[in-house]
Structure 1
Amino acid sequence: MVFFSFDEHVFSHPWERVVEAALRKYPNPESPNVTGTDVFERKVDEKGRLCSQRIISSLWSNSYLNLIEKVAGLDMTKTFHAIEYSVLDPKERSFELSSRNYNFMDYITVDEKLVYQPHATDPNMTVLKQQWHITCKNLSFVSFFENAMGTTMMAASVKGRQGIEYVINQVREEVERIASAPIEEMQTLATNTMKEINSFQQSIGGMGRRWEENLHEELNEFIAKSGSNLIDQPQN
């Protein structure tokens, strides 16, 4: 048996604003389980689409996972890593993401897909379509564990949408603060922002080196196992 579920959510914001927030989603206080995101490939393809691949690292803890740990003997306290493929198409106004975990794949495979598109009739709204495809194997009580993981993922999706709203509010506050700031304050803000960007770039570089040192073999194994099996994986 396989767990499959689909959900749809409408944001009361234009597509561009929601996508900007989705790109800046982590970190946010609504998703404290996400401990890091490492972009390891990003390019603009021949169609003008921004194609990205990144590692998302997270920690999970709830009653369902604790039960899986006890029954299956898996160490669910370990950091979960997932590979996310995304395609941002500004011309078609679509932002599509597909992800799959790459540890615990011998027992649990979680495929998740998200698509952000403008509302069909209201340009001030954005529709998020989200689906999950979960398969468990080499475990007892497979159906129970698949539903447990599905319930966990769907609960996390609610927090993820709240995180989008949080980032949208943060961006709005930034714009308002800049618009009302004196020239001297704006210059200071610009200087501090550049320092933050430089620090962020150095941090990303360091994370990239650590990824190459510690995760390269696992990533190759993940890609070999997954191939083109990610649910409707965007084509770069």
Structure 2
Amino acid sequence: MVWLAFDEHVFHHPWEQVVEAALRKYPNPETPNVSSTDIIERTVDEKGCMRSKKIISSYWRNMGTDIVRRLSGIDLTKTIHALELSVVDPKEKRYELVSKNYNFLNYITIDERLTYAPKNDDPNATLLKQEWRIRVQNLSFQGYLENLMGTTMKSTASSGRAGIEHVINQIKDEVERLACPVVEEMQNLAASTLKEFNSVQAKLEEAQKKLQESDIPNELSQFISKSDNSKGYSSS
């Protein structure tokens, strides 16, 4: 028997923003149960798709894990490791991840698939589709345990989505902090330029005023008149 579940969620942000946040998702305060992420391999194929292989280490500690321990003797509160494979396709705007635990595989198998793509009717929104497949074997109460663990994982999916929203806001803050010095420098430059312009304009106005107040125009006119009437100069 296998427990299956599907869910969807809309992020009201463009696909590029959501994917950048998803790639930088851990650590964040919304999902403190994830203790570490380690990239084993990362390549870019001939189509420009980035392929990654990660180890995600986390711990589960909730009512469901306590019931599993009492019924099966398996302590899920210890660190759980999962292998995550992902592909980012920037041309098709699709980000897909699949993960599987590799602790307790003789008893519990948890497969999860996430797909991020632009929402068809809104280019500024991103649709996340999630799928869970949980199988319990070699234990009693298999159906009950599968349903319990699946329901618990689905209910905590909101924490992961909140984590992405947190990282999106974090990235926006980083961009604003980087932009502030540039904006401040441009404002200072504009203020300095305006100050210099006003100073030059004031000097020009002052010089014009002095010229108007002096007898230079009359003196120049008299000089020209005397030069024309001077007998010492004649045209050849």
The TM-score range, normalised by the shorter chain, is 0.7 to 0.9
Cα shift at 1:144: 0.7
Distance (Å, rounded) in 2 between the aligned partners of 1:149 and 1:67: 10
Q: Distance in 2 between matches of 1:132 and 1:104?
A: 17
Show the 5 A alignment for 1:32-181.
32-181=32-181
Q: Which runs of 4+ in 1 moved over 4 A?
A: 182-185
Q: CA deviation at 1:75?
A: 2.1
1:191 corresponds to which residue? none
Deviation per residue, 1:63-99 (Å, 9 max, x gap): 1111111111112221100000000000110000000
Structure with higher Rg: it is: 2
**1:150 alignment partner AA:** G
Partner of residue 209, structure 2 = none
CA contact (8 A) 2:60 2:76 kept: yes
Q: Secondary structure at the match of 1:181?
A: helix
CA contact (8 A) 2:4 2:132 kept: yes
TM-score by structure 1 length? 0.76
Distance 2:74 2:36 in 1: 22
**SS, match of residue 124 in structure 1:** strand
Structure ranking higher on relative contact order (CA contacts 8 Å, 6+ apart): 1
Q: Percent identity?
A: 59
Q: SS at 2:30's partner residue?
A: coil
Offset, 1:181:
2.6
Three-state SS of the structure 1 residue aligned to 2:35 is strand
The residue type equivalent to 1:74 in the other structure is I
What amino acid maps onto 2:146 in structure 1? E
2:17 is the alignment partner of 1:12: no
Deviation at 1:184, TM superposition (A): 11
Q: TM-score, normalised by structure 2?
A: 0.76
Residue by residue, what CA displacement relative to the aligned partner does 1:45-68 show, whole Å, maximum 9, x if unpaired? 121100000000001011111111
Q: State the match for 1:226 in structure 2.
A: none
Contact 2:68 2:75 in 1 (8 A): no
- Given residue 58 of structure 2, which amino acid in structure 1 is its aligned partner? S
Query: Structure 2 counterpart of 1:167, which letter?
Result: V
SS at match of 2:124: coil
Distance 2:98 2:9 in 1: 17
Quick one: distance in 1 between partners of 2:134 and 2:28? 26
Give the distance between the partners of 1:108 and 1:156, measured in 2 at CA. 18
The alignment's C-alpha RMSD in Å is: 1.5
Q: Distance in 2 between matches of 1:82 and 1:67?
A: 22
* Cα pair 2:65 2:77 within 8 Å, conserved: no
The residue type equivalent to 2:21 in the other structure is A
Deviation at 1:121, TM superposition (A): 1.7
Gaps of 5+ in 1: 186-236
Quick one: distance in 1 between partners of 2:178 and 2:57? 33
Code of the aligned partner of 1:100? K
| Stretches of structure 2 lacking an aligned partner (at least 5 in a row) | 186-236
Q: What letter is aligned with 1:138?
A: N
Within 1, Cα distance between the matches of 2:106 and 2:94? 33
Deviations 1:125-177 (A, max 9, x none): 00000000000001111011001110121122110000000000000011111
Shift of 1:5: 0.4
